[in-house]
Amino acid sequence: MPRITLLKLLRYREWTEELGYDREWIIQSKQAKMYDLIQLLFSKKNGFAFPLRYDYFLALSNGNDEKTHYEILMEVDSVAPYGIKMVSLVHKYPAIAQLIASHVIREKPGKLVFFEGDEDNNVIVHIDFNDITSYTEMTSVFESYLKIQSLYYNISKYAFQLGGISTYLGGDNMLVILPEEKIDRFLENLPYYLKIGIGVSRVPRKALSLASKALTMIRKGVVRKNYLILRDENV
């Protein structure tokens, strides 16, 4: 089961309103810097982070104990406008993990709430939307962006129904973090024109790497189907 860690920027609205009216460029710049730092800190520990609304971030952080999470928290806390709070727990369904974390982060006191648990595989799905480049050439950049966002929304909604969570990577790519038992069902209902690389590993960065490798193999025609699953023990 993956370890899901939720980070919250504290007093976010208060901070933004203190910046005055000419603030949006400052907010966007600060958010980008915060994400860069959070991603760097978790990736150094073989994890992976992604933003949710930019006042919240999620991370896959298997293999890291409470002390390591606290060290990450303190480093981010030192540069956040009003500090951060972190909740970390293990659950077979990432969607339920973030639901629990969302309640705990609001209701339980303390800077870090860390729940022990039996960690297991991360399942990371890297999806490539086919023919977006040609669609962009026939229409426009913004219209292709709308198409990508529509696909992203529909796939994200379906993944969430299966207990998964997702994030948009930019370009024509997205990630889904799935319960391992839901891989087959997820694949059964996705459009044939998508390319889908799946990585399975106890280590989040390894799972992400395997998913990217699987996607590359599909793109190069190494396999004849539109999806490929690579497991840590098989590579």
CATH 3.30.70.1230 domain span(s) along the chain: 3-114
**Phi, psi for 125 (deg, rounded to 5):** -110, 120
pLDDT at 210 > cutoff 70: yes
CATH 3.30.70.270 domain span(s) along the chain: 122-234
pLDDT at 234 > cutoff 80: no
User: pLDDT digits over 61-101, tens only?
Assistant: 999 999 999 999 999 999 999 999 999 999 999 999 999 99
- In this prediction, residue 136 carries a pLDDT of 87
- Only one residue has tokens 């933003």, namely 51
- In this prediction, residue 131 carries a pLDDT of 76
User: pLDDT digits over 123-133, tens only?
Assistant: 999 999 877 88
Query: Strand 194-201 vs strand 227-231: parallel, antiparallel, or unpaired?
Result: parallel
**Phi, psi for 227 (deg, rounded to 5):** -140, 155
CATH topology of domain 3-114: Alpha-Beta Plaits (3.30.70)
Q: Which of 90, 96, 85, 35 is nearest to 61 (CA)?
A: 90
Local structure of 220: helix, strand or coil:
coil
Region 110-116 average pLDDT: 96
Region 181-196 average pLDDT: 92
CA–CA distances in Å: residue 169 to residues 75, 103, 215: 25, 26, 14
- In this prediction, residue 33 carries a pLDDT of 95
Give the helix ranges, DSSP H, for 129-232. Answer: 132-138, 141-161, 183-188, 204-219
Identify which has the larger pLDDT, 141 or 134: 141
Region 113-125 average pLDDT: 96
Q: How high is the mean pLDDT of the chain?
A: 94
Region 210-217 average pLDDT: 96
**Confidence bin at 217 (pLDDT 50/70/90):** very high
**Phi, psi for 197 (deg, rounded to 5):** -100, 130
CATH superfamily of 122-234: Reverse transcriptase/Diguanylate cyclase domain (3.30.70.270)
- In this prediction, residue 235 carries a pLDDT of 52
Tokens of 150: 């529509």
Local structure of 152: helix, strand or coil:
helix
Q: How many Å apart are CA 90 and CA 227, to the nearest integer?
A: 27
Tokens of 50: 């992604």
Q: What is the reported pTM?
A: 0.93
